[in-house]
Amino acid sequence: MNKTDLLIIGAGAAGISAACAAWDAGCRSIVLTDRLDSPGGILRQCVHEGFGLAEFGAELTGPAYADRLSERLSCTGVLFLPGREVLALTKEKTAVLSGSGGIEQVGFKRLILASGCREKTIGSLPVAGPRPAGIFTAGQAQEMINLCHWDLGSNIVILGSGDLGMILARRFTLEGKRVVSLVEQNKRYGGMARNYRRCIEAYQIPIRYRRTIRELHGMPRLTGVTVENLESGEREKLPCDTLVTAIGLIPERELIRGLEKEEWLSLAGNCKKVHDLADSAAAEGAALGRQIGEQLAKGNTA
C-alpha cells in the first residue's frame, strides 16, 4: 500500500489550490487524485470567459484558468494521480482507488475532500408525463456540447435561470439553435447580473418568470413541455425537442458518509458549499491546504 501525509480527492480549483498551498507551507508528502485524466475539474468544460479576476487579475476562460492552476501544481512536488476514481474511504485512513492499472490503496494521515458537486435532475421535481429522450442536466449538456461537440437538439427549453442556465442559453444560440424560452419560478433571474446582460439581453433570449414545468410530452423523443403560470395557474404548451434542467447543485459527499466526524477529514470547494466563483473555491482550498500543510510539516497531524 502507498502512504502519504496528505491525500486530496478532486483536482478542481479547490483541490489544486489546497495541494499547492500545503506544499508551500512545507508539507512534502502530498497525493492529489482525480477520476479525470487532466486537472481542472468543472473548469475544463466552461469555455466562456469570466474566471480568475481575483486570483489572476484577468478574465480567463475556464480551461485557461485550469491551465494556470496546473502550471502552479507542476512547480511543486505534489504527486498527481489522474484517471483514478476513489471508490471508498475507511476509518483506518485508507483510500481505495480504481484506475486503468487496477485497484490501489493509499494510506494517509490527513484527507481533504474536494470532490465538487452534482446536479439536481428532473426526477427531483413534481413533473408529470413520460421521460423521453432529449432531457439533460445543464452540466451534462455543457460537457456534451463543449467537449464532445455533439448536437443535442434544435428547439431548446431551459428550466432555471441561474448562471448555468443563462450561459447555456447563449451557448445553444451561438451553436445556431433556437432557445424557445428559459422558465424561471422566481420574479427575477437567478444568476449574476453580468451573465444576464451578456447571455440573455445581448441575444434577446426570452425568459418566462413565475412559471414552472408541469408536464413532459412525446415518446421516444420529447415534443414539448407544459408550463404553468404560478400566479394565475394558466398553462401553455411549448413545443421543443430538448429540455435542459439547470435547477441547482448538490455538494458531492457520498464518499464520506459515516465518516463526517473523523478529525483527519476536511472539506474544500463545492463539496463543502457551492461557490458561484472559481476564485472563491480556490481561495477556500488554499486556506485549508496552508493550515493542514503547516500542521503536517510540524509533525502535528491532529
Ligand X SMILES: Cc1cc2nc3c(=O)[nH]c(=O)nc-3n(C[C@H](O)[C@H](O)[C@H](O)COP(=O)(O)OP(=O)(O)OC[C@H]3O[C@@H](n4cnc5c(N)ncnc54)[C@H](O)[C@@H]3O)c2cc1C
- Buried b vs exposed e over 143-167: b needs ≥16 C-beta within 10 Å? bebbeeeeebbebbbbbbbbbbbbb
* Rounded Cα–Cα distance for residues 274 and 289 (Å): 18
162 interacts with ligand X by CB under 6 A = no
In the complex, least distance from residue 231 CB atom to ligand X, rounded to whole angstroms: 30
21 interacts with ligand X by CB under 6 A = no
Closest CA to 195 of 13, 50, 51: 50
Q: Which of 35, 198, 214, 253 binds ligand X (CB under 6 A)?
A: 35
Could you tell me the strand order of the sheet in which 235-239 lies? 211-217, 224-229, 235-239
Kindly determine how many residues on this chain lie close enough to bind ligand X according to the rule CB under 6 A. Answer: 37
In the complex, least distance from residue 46 CB atom to ligand X, rounded to whole angstroms: 5
120 interacts with ligand X by CB under 6 A = no
Burial category of 248 from C-beta neighbours within 10 Å (exposed 0-12, middle 13-18, buried 19 and up): middle
Q: Which of 21, 30, 152, 164 binds ligand X (CB under 6 A)?
A: 164
163 interacts with ligand X by CB under 6 A = yes
User: Which residues have C-beta within 8 Å of that of residue 37, sequence separation ≥ 6?
Assistant: 82, 83
190 interacts with ligand X by CB under 6 A = no
198 interacts with ligand X by CB under 6 A = no
| C-alpha to C-alpha distances, 44 to 110, 116, 144, 206, 281, nearest whole angstrom | 27, 13, 12, 28, 15
114 interacts with ligand X by CB under 6 A = yes
User: Which residues have C-beta within 8 Å of that of residue 130, sequence separation ≥ 6?
Assistant: 216, 217, 218, 219
Region of 46-54, 69-77, 211-219, 257-265 interacting with ligand X (CB under 6 A): 46-54
Q: Which of 6, 8, 11, 106 binds ligand X (CB under 6 A)?
A: 11
Contacts to ligand X from residues 219-278, by CB under 6 A: 252, 255, 269-270, 275-278
Q: Which residue has the cell 458531492?
A: 252
Region of 37-45, 129-137, 183-191, 213-221 interacting with ligand X (CB under 6 A): 37-45
Q: What is the DSSP letter of 271?
A: G
Region of 9-17, 75-83, 128-136, 223-231 interacting with ligand X (CB under 6 A): 9-17
Q: Which of 86, 156, 157, 158 binds ligand X (CB under 6 A)?
A: 86
Measured from the CB atom, is 152 or 255 closer to ligand X?
A: 255
Residues making contact with ligand X (CB under 6 A): 9-15, 33-36, 41-43, 46, 50-51, 85-86, 114-116, 139, 142, 163-164, 167, 252, 255, 269-270, 275-279, 281
